Structure 1
Amino acid sequence: RLGTNLEIATLDQKREAVDPQETLAQYLTDGRGENLVINGEQRHVVSYMKDFLFKPEQARTPVRELSGGERARLLLARVLARPANLLVLDEPTNDLDMETLELLQELVAGFAGTVILVSHDRDFLDRTVTSLIAPDGEGRWIEYAGGYSDMLAQRGGTRLDDRKARAKADNGEAPVTTRSEAAAPKGPAKKLSFKQKFALESLPKKIEAVTASISRLENNIADPAYYERDPASFQKTIAALDKERATLAALEEEWLELEMLREEMEG
């Protein structure tokens, strides 16, 4: 059965062809200006690119200059920019670097509609899906709740290959050595998300920049003649200083929370 208002976005394992001369902004907007409509809201292409960890200056970078991981992120950004309530991904983890893989996991988990994906990446399945459809070896496909490890547990801890091997042994055929249940993939380990790690690494530079700005502003108001010379400018400087101090406090608090979370997860 199909929904009456189904809007489908797809990403196949061959990936779509990209004009290497196009800039990232042109590719994401189809050359139609600088804005996109994402989830019913208009967004500037640079703002949307930041969601996929691109820097603002990369908006005018030709696609040919991207690394493999960056190109994969660009394709994901293009697919997810399309209005859709059904996302179909065919082997989405192929050729992804670790950073893009972690971002993909977050994007799939945060997608508002339904996601159907085909993947041989068992860890990725464990981290993203809520149900799994797998063959039983008899021409049937069975749906299991949870991910790959959950499917193994519901099958009694055996893979399809293991079950085939046991059937052959029961029929007097030569036994085949297979991976034991102990080798089955474990559930996902707790760790910072990619965006959290990115924030933790980038926050010190932001804190340094804001601290330098505060120092400059404090030096300005330290001039005893400043207020007499230009009272309006002095008041603006005071307001800017208060704003920067509030920003610094928020950044330091965010960094501390992430650092404590990292230490807790790493034990």
Structure 2
Amino acid sequence: AMASLDQSRASLDPAMSLKEALTGGGSDFIEVAGSRRHVVGYMKDFLFGPEQAGTPIGRLSGGERGRLMLARALATPSNLLVLDEPTNDLDFETLDLLQEMLADYQGTLILVSHDRDFLDRVGNSVLVAEGNGRWVEYAGGYSDMVAQRGAGIDARTLATKPAQETGKKAATAPQTTRDAKAKRKLSFNEKHALETLPARIDALQKDAMRLKAILADANLYSRDAALFAKTSGTLAKVETDLAKAEEDWLALEILREEIEG
């Protein structure tokens, strides 16, 4: 069975209460990975107070909505957990909590994230898109992946060789990769993007913070549902653009680090 968490948080009904979102109705209990727990106790695991049980989701902050989605995902019985940008909107305390819970997860975790530090702390292997539809797995976290690629360790070379040739060819693969990287230079467009993307990312982050501040108004949904919906839609677009900009910058930064060794 699979459980998942997407970065859009789109599955949340803003009119539903926190308790209803966790239990699926009016029950006081929730099934968590096969065990029956009181919903208030489970809420406390995710830093929610008992008084928040009846709070409409529309009144929760971005960080609180993120914690709610994590609580729902981790309550689902599964042996495969897929998390898309789970650290979005989370404060340091919640990040530590998430790390602890994922460390205790009994199953396979697939994590999509631009948070390098989180990948280092949680992941034990990294899958990297190498172009032309090819994905390569590197042992360890993000930093380990960068170190391996910088050292010329390229799984593509080994993956394309027959099993009986792997031992023979492995020794020459790193030098071949390094030679190719030595000749590679960033194009003008790549350099320009690498220089300008940080400012665009910063601007998008500020837009997202401004929109989240508007949505943090506990009375916004009941006072002006149309404004709440419009602001939520704009925020979703900004977060999509931000994710794309961060992805582009990360790919270019990895390329730059590889070229410079």
Tell me the TM-score range normalised by the shorter chain.
0.5 to 0.7
> Who is 2:76 aligned against?
82
Letter of the 1:91 counterpart: E
Aligned to 1:170: 183
Q: TM-score, normalised by structure 2?
A: 0.57
| CA deviation profile, 1:194-251 (whole Å, cap 9, x unmatched) | xxxxxxxxxxxxxxxxxxxxxxxxxxxxxxxxxxxxxxxxxxxxxxxxxxxxxxxxxx
Specify the alignment match of 1:223 in structure 2: none
Residue 17 of structure 2 is aligned to residue 16 of structure 1: no
For 2:42, give the aligned amino acid: Y
Structure 1 166/16 Cα, relative in aligned 2: closer, same or farther at 3 Å? farther
Higher relative contact order (CA 8 A, sep 6+): 2
What is the CA-CA distance between 1:22 and the residue it aligns to? 1.9
**Which residues of structure 1 form unaligned runs of 5+?**
1-6, 180-267
2:152 and 2:178 in contact (8 A); partners too = no
TM-score, normalised via structure 1 length: 0.55
% identity of equivalent residues: 59
Q: 1:54 to 1:158 in 2, by over 3 A?
A: farther
2:169 aligns with none
1:61 alignment counterpart: 55
SS at match of 1:155: helix
Match in the other structure for 1:43 = 37
Matched, 1:94 2:91: no
Residue 143 of structure 2 is matched in structure 1 by 149
Q: Does 1:112 align with 2:110?
A: no
Amino acid at match of 1:47: G
What SS does the corresponding residue of 2:99 show, helix, strand or coil? helix
How many residue pairs end up in the alignment? 171
Q: Decide which structure has greater helix share.
A: 2
Q: Is contact 1:133–1:143 with CA below 8 Å preserved after alignment?
A: yes
Structure 2, unmatched stretches of 5+, are 155-176, 195-261
Cα distance between partner residues in 2 of 1:65 and 1:30: 18
Larger radius of gyration: 1
Q: Deviations over 1:44-102 (max 9, x none)?
A: 10011111011112112222222211111011111111111110011222233333333
Q: Partner of 2:163 in structure 1?
A: none
Deviation at 1:166, TM superposition (A): 8.0
The SS at the match of 2:127 is strand
Secondary structure in 2 aligned to 1:136?
strand
